[in-house]
Chain A
């Protein structure tokens, strides 16, 4: 177990930090006073959305929602920052945050449609031809199983795939077309294909030159959250076991919050978050990182609710 050398931080600390550092345009940057970013805004909005653990913040959330709506591109996607030329993975996070907040069904649907038509590059004709002529000697993975990429024109990776799955999982069944169901199934299979041999996930290379990749906290937590409906599967149980074993040696607050949230979501017993976070906060004040703060709030919410929502029921990102 970790050694606690300083007291716990208040449960409301990160929530207050987020409220205090919303930019005047309604968004959040990755750090206080930095330009508003889609990902930071989406996670902050998700963290501050109504929950049983905290009073609602209608004005703060409405401004954030408006900022996200303005940042959405005409094709339904979101770029990392307004004005950037490329759509990217933040589309999943922004769509889900808006869905959670409610009141923007058209924007959510446009985000969904963009995601369903966004394919990673490993499925292109050029890629398949190259793989046929020059099969990789480095990695061993089934490239027919496609999820989502970080940026257009690149390959599927674990985390963006998990974010897209979490978004799809949060939507009511009537919003999901057969195409959505098909993509969801394909992406879930892709995640299992990319699982490290001993359980858990890294960014997406389970075997390189035949050597088993080492799982990492973040990708493992995201993948497990995305596969929450599969809790009985042996692969999930093995990965949860790895995460539980790694939990005591986590040195980063973002990883700690994600792991805590994930284990709580699966009903695993985890030591209270506040004590461990207090020690980490005393080191670097979380580098005033908005994502970290948002993930801490979401972990605290999960800790407070302590139950596993079912698909389509509770759209917590």
Chain B
């Protein structure tokens, strides 16, 4: 893998990150053009590279509330191909649902990607290789990870803007749980929970840090996410070259304080930027798109003062 930024670097030595907020009120507009235009601001070095898009596909959900919307996945693929990527594959290893095909068929992914067998990879059943984790936040030390991920040149995390009943919010860092293969660890990948959700998120992202992130916030999920929450139209896509900065910005859009979300606060030390003064904001401002998300009572402490993030 080659990385746009080093995965581990103390925040004070890391150059400022860039995050763009793009408005989009629905999935029916020309998202391909919208994302392509937004990506051009980043001058990403993807020409000739094998790009891997990692969406968040959780359950068969015909209503489009739980999973990254297939229109966003298709649009991102189109945009990276236009930028010169030699291939753009879409890969996911759902955490609870073994029948990945049931998910991609329910959301009609092939309507947006064309024939799936050559484009989509079920990471739960991929060939695996042992990888020593680059940090020791958890006691895991080593994980088997899918060949498709390890062979990608440029990894893009494509989560949904959602609250999460264990982690507070599930965004581009938490989304990387999906690269851990079920064929080795089961459904759910309970070994990650027992290792601690925050430490496991940190170890996975230090080892396979997404080079880019695109958060589908056109319709997010609030309340009892990531599965049984309520739809939350937010009308935004949030993109950036630093997954921590993208997640911090996304949290602020949700009216949450990122420094109170455990894994984000810790990721801000070595994996990317949390603080607004280290994030170069492109496109819309956070304040102009802020849409406070309802959270479960247990996560009320994450809500920013005055909902300002």
A, B: real partners: yes
> Could you list which residues of chain A lie within 8 angstroms of chain B, going by C-beta atoms?
29-31, 34-35, 37, 39, 80-81, 84, 88-89, 121, 137-138, 149-151, 153-155, 157, 159-160, 202-203, 208-209, 211, 213-214, 216-218, 250-255, 280, 283-289, 291-292
Binary contact readout B125-160 vs A (1 if CB under 8 angstroms, 0 otherwise): 111100000000000000010000000000000000
Which of chain B's residues 17-68 have a Cβ closer than 8 Å to chain A?
59-60
Assess the A252–B101 pair: CB atoms within 8 A: yes
Minimum CB–CB distance for B16 against chain A, Å: 38
Q: Is the CB of B191 within 8 A of A154?
A: yes
A-B contact pairs, 29 of them (CB 8 A): A34-B127, A84-B184, A88-B184, A138-B165, A138-B298, A150-B191, A153-B191, A154-B191, A157-B187, A159-B98, A203-B96, A208-B224, A208-B228, A211-B228, A214-B227, A216-B59, A250-B102, A252-B60, A252-B100, A252-B105, A254-B98, A280-B101, A283-B110, A283-B116, A284-B110, A287-B100, A289-B101, A289-B125, A291-B125
B97 sits at the interface (CB 8 A) = yes
Known: A251-B60, A287-B117. 7 other contacts (CB 8 A): A34-B127, A80-B184, A138-B298, A159-B187, A254-B102, A287-B116, A287-B122
Across-interface contacts of B188 in A (CB, < 8 A): 150, 157, 203
Question: Are B99 and A252 in contact, CB atoms less than 8 angstroms apart?
Answer: yes
- A89-B106 contact in complex given A81-B128, A203-B96, A214-B227, C-beta closer than 8 Å: no
Q: How far is the CA of A209 from the CA of B183 in the complex (A)?
A: 29
Please report the C-alpha to C-alpha distance between residue A289 and residue B99 in the assembled complex, in whole angstroms: 10
Chain B residues within an 8 Å CB radius of A153: 191, 194
B187, closest chain A residue (CB)? A203
Residue from A150, A209, A214 within 8 A of B185 (CB atoms): A150
**Does B103 sit at the interface, judged by CB under 8 A?**
yes
* Complex-state Cα separation, A284 to B116, whole angstroms: 6
Known contacts A150-B190, A157-B188, A208-B165, A251 near B102 by CB under 8 Å:
yes
Specify which of B99, B102, B117, B165 is in contact with A285 (CB 8 Å cutoff): B117
How many angstroms from the CA of A306 to the CA of B78 in the assembled complex?
48
By a CB distance below 8 angstroms, the chain A residues around B117 are 284-285, 287-288
B186 at the interface (CB under 8 A from A): yes
Instruction: Determine the chain A residues whose CB is within 8 A of the CB of B100 once the complex forms.
Output: 252, 287
In the assembled complex, the Cα of A160 lies from the Cα of B126 at a distance in Å of 20
Give chain B nearest CB distance to A155 CB in angstroms: 6
Counting CB contacts under 8 A, is B296 at the interface? yes
Contact A89–B186 (Cβ < 8 Å): yes
- A203, closest chain B residue (CB): B96
Q: With A209-B224, A214-B228, A251-B60 as known contacts, state yes or no: A292 contacts B101, CB within 8 Å.
A: yes
Closest to B144 in A: A84
Residue of B at shortest CB range from A154?
Answer: B190
Q: In the complex, what distance in Å separates the CA atom of A216 from the CA atom of B96?
A: 9
Bound: A19/B137 CA distance, A: 45
Give A54 to B101 CA distance when docked, in angstroms. 28
Distance in Å: Cβ of B132 to nearest Cβ of chain A: 13
A209-B184 contact, Cβ under 8 Å, with A218-B97, A283-B110: no
Q: Report which of A34, A84, A216, A285 forms a contact with B97, defined as CB distance below 8 A.
A: A216
Are A151 and B186 in touch, CB under 8 angstroms?
Answer: yes
Cβ contacts under 8 Å, B104 to chain A: 284
Interface of A (DSSP majority class): loop
Interface residues of B in 256-309 (CB under 8 A from A): 296, 298
Minimum-distance CB pairs A-B, first 9: A150-B186, A252-B102, A252-B99, A251-B105, A30-B125, A154-B190, A255-B99, A254-B99, A252-B101
Please provide the chain B residues from 172 to 189 with a CB less than 8 Å away from any CB of chain A in the complex.
183-188
Q: Given the complex, which residues of A lie within 8 Å of B166, measured CB to CB? A: 138
- Taken together as a complex, chains A and B put the C-alpha atoms of A80 and B120 apart, in Å, by 23
Known contacts A30-B125, A31-B125, A252-B101, A137 near B298 by CB under 8 Å:
yes
| Cα–Cα distance between A202 and B191 once the two chains are bound (Å) | 18
Q: Are A160 and B186 in contact (CB under 8 A)?
A: yes
Contact of A218 among B99, B127, B186 (CB under 8 A): B99
User: CB-CB < 8 A to A216: which residues of B?
Assistant: 59, 96-97
Q: Which chain B residue lies CB-closest to A37?
A: B183
Q: Report yes or no: A155 in contact with B184, Cβ–Cβ below 8 A.
A: no
Please pick, from A159, A202, A283, A289, the residue contacting B105 in the complex, using a CB distance under 8 A: A283
Q: State how many angstroms separate the Cβ of B202 from the closest Cβ of chain A.
A: 19
Contacts of A137 in B (CB 8 A): 298
Q: What are the residues of chain B within 8 A of A37 when measuring CB–CB?
A: 183
A234 CA / B186 CA spacing, docked (Å):
30
**A37 to B99 Cα, complex, angstroms:** 18
CA distance A155 to B59 in the complex (A): 22
Residue of A29, A89, A149, A216 with highest tally of chain B CB at under 10 A = A216
The closest CB in chain B to the CB of A149 belongs to B190
Bound CA span A1–B165, Å? 35
Contact of A157 among B99, B110, B186 (CB under 8 A): B186
Chain A residues near B122 (CB-CB < 8 A): 287, 289
A81 proximity list for chain B (CB < 8 A) = 128, 184
Instruction: Choose one: A138, A155, A284; the contact of B101 (CB below 8 Å).
Output: A284
How far, in whole Å, are A59 and B122 apart by their CA atoms in the complex? 31
- The answer on a CB contact under 8 Å between B99 and A151 is no
Chain B residue with the shortest CB-CB distance to A292: B101
Measured CA separation A267–B224 after assembly (Å): 38
B102 CB contact (under 8 Å) in A39, A213, A255, A288: A255
Which residues does chain A contribute within 8 Å of B60, judged by CB atoms? 251-252
Q: Residue on B with the closest CB to A120?
A: B190
Q: How far is the CA of A288 from the CA of B194 in the complex (A)?
A: 33
Docked complex Cα distance between A280 and B104 (Å): 12
User: From A158, which residue of chain B is reached at the shortest CB distance?
Assistant: B187
- For residue B227, which residues in chain A have a CB less than 8 angstroms away from its CB? 214
